[in-house]
């Protein structure tokens, strides 16, 4: 495994400035070992804007561009890749040019689970540019890979692992996310097959990487979606959920062996606890239940006031990606997984720098509160 070299700074370009990208850009600017030299944007309206303006910080003297050629001309060490949609041509061009990539998209968690034609293209580009690419974030990523690997270090036998995610969305003021994208307030009888397939593609490869790393034999992946309804009309921050309509959702992605679940990720997202089903509803956060010869029950809660959720939650995904940049830049060429890299240990921003910039609310922050991107970055707990 490669260790991050003692390099004064890594030249970084931010690719896309949506909800997560705005946070990775800000965090990269504040990082003492990263030098933000460029920003790629999709909207012509953002072209030419200063990087600081795009993320609520003072001017940096770095202008945003819509040109891939402008990015490669900067010869960055790494691109923080956070777009809504995957552009495989751009990814391969960046890698072939000598630029490493850290992505918050879920496309590159496990090479064996990728579309194999895409895998071959990406690996060829990595070989040509002597570069690496890594997908990470909070969920999937930290909670489905990094933390389970640490917890498994206590085991000599692992019979099963359940990773649960809970998100109380009652104070989430995002009508587009809750009502249009996720279907809260609707009368669906079953999950749309396309959405189930997308959830399988988001979490399945991450769990399979974990299984392969630990030597756990699994045979197939299964995905199941369930709805719960509220018996009473309920007002939430995003609007009103009428009686008899969807007020909670539970999605389970599992890898099984002989019909028995070995690794499971279960997300329960809800707008009220007044439901027609007896689901366990914890506060926003995660719970990991380890079934082995050293059993564990680990609960992680997010102690964030509802009015600060939109400000804080994107950091759970963005910060891990930024912290990974030095390790990915020094990693061997190829598609690198969490198991390939050393443990990600942050080089923390200076306290005085965070104090100057972290509390500053700008137009960019306010706009982000109501926005939701449909790309595969994980669930609404961090979106």
Judged on CB neighbours under 10 Å (0-12, 13-18, 19+), 317 is: buried
Three-state DSSP state, 26 = helix
Q: What is the token pair recorded at 253?
A: 């992605």
Final residue of a structural domain among 304, 330, 350: 304
Both 83 and 200 in one domain: the answer is no
Per residue of the chain (383 residues), what is the pLDDT tens digit? 345 555 779 999 999 999 999 999 999 999 999 999 999 999 999 999 999 999 999 999 999 999 999 999 999 999 999 999 999 999 999 999 999 999 999 999 999 999 999 999 999 999 999 999 999 999 999 999 999 999 999 999 999 999 999 999 998 888 998 999 899 999 988 898 999 999 999 999 999 999 999 999 999 999 999 999 999 999 999 999 999 999 999 999 999 999 999 999 999 999 999 999 999 999 999 999 999 999 999 999 999 988 888 889 999 999 999 999 999 999 999 999 999 999 999 999 876 555 555 444 343 443 333 333 444 566 666 55
Can you give the CATH number for the domain in which 175 is found?
3.30.360
Residue 340 covered by a domain: yes
Both 271 and 154 in one domain: the answer is yes
Tally of domains within the chain? 2
Distances (CA, A) of 67 to 133, 143, 285: 21, 35, 39
- For the entire predicted model, the pTM comes to 0.91
Spatial distance between the Cα atoms of 171 and 157, rounded to a whole number of angstroms: 41
Query: What pLDDT does residue 353 have?
Result: 58
Both 294 and 345 in one domain: the answer is no
Query: What pLDDT does residue 1 have?
Result: 38
Both 148 and 248 in one domain: the answer is yes
Spatial distance between the Cα atoms of 162 and 262, rounded to a whole number of angstroms: 8
Residue 333 covered by a domain: yes
Query: What pLDDT does residue 312 have?
Result: 92
Both 278 and 292 in one domain: the answer is yes
Both 196 and 132 in one domain: the answer is no
Both 298 and 150 in one domain: the answer is yes
Both 150 and 272 in one domain: the answer is yes
Both 29 and 109 in one domain: the answer is yes
Both 165 and 293 in one domain: the answer is yes
Final residue of a structural domain among 304, 325, 360: 304
Residue 62 covered by a domain: yes
Residue 376 covered by a domain: no
Q: What is the token pair recorded at 24?
A: 């990775």
- Give the domain range for residue 318: 10-137+312-369
Spatial distance between the Cα atoms of 232 and 217, rounded to a whole number of angstroms: 45
């Amino acid at each position: 495994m490669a260790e991050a070299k003692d390099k004064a700074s890594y030249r970084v370009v931010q690719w896309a400035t949506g909800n997560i990208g705005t946070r990775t850009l800000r965090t990269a600017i504040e990082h003492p070992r990263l030098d933000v030299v460029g920003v790629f944007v999709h909207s012509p309206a953002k072209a030419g804007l200063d990087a600081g303006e795009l993320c609520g910080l003072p001017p940096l003297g770095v202008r945003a561009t819509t040109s891939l050629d402008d990015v490669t001309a900067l010869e960055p060490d790494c691109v923080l890749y956070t777009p809504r949609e995957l552009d495989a041509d751009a990814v391969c061009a960046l890698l072939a040019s000598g630029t490493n990539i850290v992505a918050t998209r879920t496309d590159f968690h496990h090479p064996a689970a990728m579309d194999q034609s895409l895998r071959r293209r990406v690996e060829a580009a990595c070989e040509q540019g002597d570069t690496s690419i890594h997908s990470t974030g909070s969920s999937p990523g930290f909670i489905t890979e990094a933390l389970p690997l640490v917890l498994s270090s206590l085991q000599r036998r692992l019979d099963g692992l359940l990773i649960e995610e809970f998100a109380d969305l009652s104070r989430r003021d995002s009508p587009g996310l809750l009502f249009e994208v996720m279907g809260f307030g609707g009368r669906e009888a079953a999950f749309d097959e396309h959405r189930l397939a997308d959830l399988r593609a988001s979490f399945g490869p991450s769990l399979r990487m974990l299984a392969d790393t630990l030597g756990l034999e699994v045979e197939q992946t299964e995905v199941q979606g369930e709805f719960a309804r509220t018996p009473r009309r309920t007002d939430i921050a995003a609007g009103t959920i009428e009686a008899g309509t969807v007020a909670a959702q539970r999605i389970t992605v599992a890898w099984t062996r002989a019909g028995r679940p070995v690794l499971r990720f279960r997300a329960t997202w809800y707008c009220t606890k007044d439901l027609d089903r007896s689901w366990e509803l914890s506060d926003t956060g995660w719970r990991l239940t380890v079934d082995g010869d050293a059993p564990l029950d680990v609960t992680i809660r997010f102690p964030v006031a509802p009015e600060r959720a939109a400000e804080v939650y994107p950091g759970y995904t963005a910060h891990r990606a930024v912290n990974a940049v030095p390790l990915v830049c020094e990693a061997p060429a190829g598609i690198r997984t969490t198991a390939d890299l050393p443990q990600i240990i942050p080089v923390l921003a200076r306290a005085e720098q965070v104090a100057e910039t972290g509390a500053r609310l700008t137009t960019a922050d306010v706009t982000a509160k109501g926005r939701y991107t449909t790309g595969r970055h994980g669930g609404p707990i961090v979106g």
